[in-house]
Amino acid sequence: MRLTVKCGVVRLTKRKRAILEAEYDNLQRFLNGERGVRLYSANRQQAVRYYKRPKPSKEYPLSLRHDLIDLHKAKTFWFLRVRVHGVRGGIRIPIIPHREFPKDAELGESKLFRRHGNFYVNLVFKFDAPPLCRGNSVLGVDLGERVIAATVLLQNSWIKRPRFLGREVRGIRRHHAWLRRRLQERGLKRVVKRISDREKRRVDAVLHRVSKEIVEMADRTTSWIAIGDLTGIRRKTKTKGKRLRRIVGNMPFHRLTGMIIYKAMMRGVPVVLVNEAYTSITCHVCGRRGFRPSQARFRCPECGEFNADLNGAINIARKVERHLGYMPLCGVACEPALDYASA
């Protein structure tokens, strides 16, 4: 498995900043075709290796070869040694990582880049995933538009701990859509771009928190995670209104699913992607087909009304619970594997 730890480069002395800037700028010039610039040999090799057809308008990160990455901790900071042209042994730069470095991990090819005048390092660690833990209950996750994830725990067919996570995503998206419209009317394109970056960061922060909460809950209760496979969602919403299609088509379901799978693998929690056909319009009590009078509600002709998101989450969890005894234990399974297992 690979884990990227983002680090900010901090407290650069004037001298070190000048040296780093020179190396970085020379890399850009080298990629723009100036073959004679002063660049550390390994940095040059990495550039040739990774950037086959560089675009002149883009800035490219400095690729750090894994065997040249030298990382050590001093009193308060971590220090990274960066090899540069003209300074024997390179320069030591202080960095602050956004999370702890994983233990027993090897370093892979990493990147140093500049944004808005500041330097950052993305360090890539490689390590073995922990063994999978066979759970005896299922945490069903229904990804939706109103709340980004509704979850429910099925333990011996008992429905427990309904949760609604990430409600704020919709608000963030609406607010930014409104802002963007207003800025576009005034022709402020650069501001629009900055606003979009900020929106993505804010949404991502929520997604990270939601995925962490889901995986921790599954880990604590030794559960499998069952999650609706949304690869068909765009097709499915074709028949519905334009507005809804825009919202659903842009929702960050794929990013959230990816984060859940990744975090689950880090902890040895197995994940099953469930074909979510009919899970939103089937009654979790009697199995009859019902309908949704609104986004929020599900109505069964016999049993009455339920919360639509929870009804979906229960159906998704049930699809996996039925097969628990037969399930092949693998990191991420899909439903065809389930059908095969039960046949």
Beta strands, E only, the chain: 2-9, 62-64, 70-73, 78-84, 87-97, 106-107, 110-115, 118-126, 137-143, 149-155, 158-165, 223-229, 271-275, 297-300, 304-307, 332-334
Q: How far is the CB of 279 from Zn ion (least distance, A)?
A: 14
DSSP 131: P
Applying CB under 5 A, the span of 38-46, 196-204, 261-269, 281-289 interacting with Zn ion comes to 281-289
Q: With binding defined as CB under 5 A, does residue 285 bind Zn ion?
A: yes
Quick one: which of 264, 226, 223 has its CA closest to 136?
223
- Choose which of 132, 172, 177, 303 interacts with Zn ion (CB under 5 A): 303
Residue 227, token pair as written in the block? 């999650």
Q: How far is the CB of 306 from Zn ion (least distance, A)?
A: 9
Given the complex with Zn ion, which of 129 and 286 has the nearer CB atom? 286
Q: How far is the CB of 3 from Zn ion (least distance, A)?
A: 44
- Choose which of 300, 310, 317, 338 interacts with Zn ion (CB under 5 A): 300
Q: How far is the CB of 287 from Zn ion (least distance, A)?
A: 7
Using an 8 Å Cβ cutoff, are 325 and 264 in contact? no
Secondary structure (DSSP) of 214-259: HHHHHHHTTEEEEEEEGGGHHHHGGGS-HHHHHHHHHS-HHHHHHH
Residue 269, token pair as written in the block? 């929690």
Applying CB under 5 A, the span of 132-140, 143-151, 255-263, 301-309 interacting with Zn ion comes to 301-309
Q: How far is the CB of 236 from Zn ion (least distance, A)?
A: 22
Given the complex with Zn ion, which of 12 and 159 has the nearer CB atom? 159
Applying CB under 5 A, the span of 70-78, 186-194, 204-212, 275-283 interacting with Zn ion comes to 275-283
In the complex, the residues that contact Zn ion under the rule CB under 5 A are: 283, 285-286, 288, 300, 302-303
